């Protein structure tokens, strides 16, 4: 039995967040950037499970993948599971433009969902979800983080302004990795 897990992602920021959560629990995260086809689906959990099952069949070892959705209330849940594509296409500036006429905190409410898909040979993928609700800021702030971090804030503080340690105490990804790590230590050792 080993406490090493392959994390299939091309995003080094996600790997750093995973290591920060998992390493203190004795789980070694090893990045593999082999990629996988992303299922186009409105459910982030199905996307993550599909990715994990695809990768385990190719690598023939225990793997995790992570998929994130950003659900903005004023935009009827957009961009949802298409958050990465939307970020690559219009970026934070585009989201802020879409929300230009959106007013108070309730209208700017947004939820991040992070889903970890875990799979090992011979099993069906299982998923672990972490969520955090905050709001979309009126402008980009902070120099840290990545992706939507400069416009997603909790209690008036953007993820990009928090620093890694503070972000890892409240973020959606930290919560999903904590759930995964707790389960993996008890049940999932590869």
Q: Show which residues are catalytic.
A: 67
Q: What is the Cα–Cα distance from 44 to 66, expressed in whole angstroms? A: 9
Q: What is the Cα–Cα distance from 167 to 115, expressed in whole angstroms? A: 17
Query: CB of 184 within 8 A of CB of 119?
Result: no
Q: Considering only CA atoms, which of 73, 53, 76 is closest in space to residue 134?
A: 73
Q: How many helices (H) and strands (E) does the chain have?
A: 6, 8
Enumerate residues 6+ apart whose C-beta is below 8 A from 76: none
CA distances from 22 to 13, 19, 183 (A): 14, 5, 11
Burial class (CB in 10 A: 0-12, 13-18, 19+), 39: middle
């Amino acid at each position: 039995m080993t406490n090493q897990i392959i994390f299939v992602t091309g995003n080094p920021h996600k790997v750093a967040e995973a290591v920060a959560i998992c390493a203190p629990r004795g789980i070694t995260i090893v990045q593999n950037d082999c990629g996988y086809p992303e299922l186009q689906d409105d459910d982030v959990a199905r996307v993550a499970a599909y990715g994990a099952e695809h990768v385990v069949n190719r690598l023939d070892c225990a793997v995790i993948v992570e998929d994130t959705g950003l659900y903005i209330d004023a935009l009827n849940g957009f961009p949802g599971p298409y958050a990465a594509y939307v970020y690559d296409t219009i970026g934070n500036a585009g989201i802020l433009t879409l929300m230009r006429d959106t007013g108070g905190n309730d209208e700017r409410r947004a939820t991040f969902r992070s889903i970890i898909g875990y799979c090992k040979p011979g099993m069906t993928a299982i998923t672990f979800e972490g969520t955090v609700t905050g709001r979309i800021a009126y402008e980009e702030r902070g120099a840290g983080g990545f992706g939507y971090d400069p416009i997603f804030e909790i209690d008036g503080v953007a993820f990009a302004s928090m620093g890694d340690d503070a972000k890892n105490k409240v973020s959606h990804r930290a919560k999903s990795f904590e759930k995964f790590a707790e389960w993996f230590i008890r049940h999932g050792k590869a």
